[in-house]
Amino acid sequence: SVENERFAELRCMCTTTTSGIHPRNFQNLKLFRAGPHCSNVEVIATLKNGKEICLDPNAPVIKKIVEKILEGDESAA
């Protein structure tokens, strides 16, 4: 579940994660790196139905997606 956005800077947003969602169902994907607010990497997907879910950043499919996002960030820098 995704916590209230206004607390995003103060603590982890994902209290539970899932890995069984197919990437075709993603409308948008947000990646939050670990930091002082949260020691975990957090991956939040917005599904095509508008629902936000937290994805397991250690799931193989999600790892590949995260790597592609990070590669894109580095090439843009």
Amino acid at 58: N
Question: What is the number of domains present in the chain?
Answer: 1
User: In this predicted structure, what is the pLDDT of residue 74?
Assistant: 62
Position with higher pLDDT, 4 vs 60? 60
Per-residue three-class SS string for the chain: CECCHHHCCCCCCECCCECCCCHHHEEEEEEECCECCECCCEEEEEECCCCEEEECCCCHHHHHHHHHHHHHHHHHC
Q: Looking at the predicted structure, is the pLDDT value of residue 7 above 70?
A: no
The CATH number linked to 28 is 2.40.50.40
Query: Residue for token digits 């209230």?
Result: 4
Structural domain including 66 reads: 5-76
Q: What is the pLDDT of residues 18-55, one digit of tens each?
A: 988 888 999 999 999 898 889 999 999 999 999 999 99
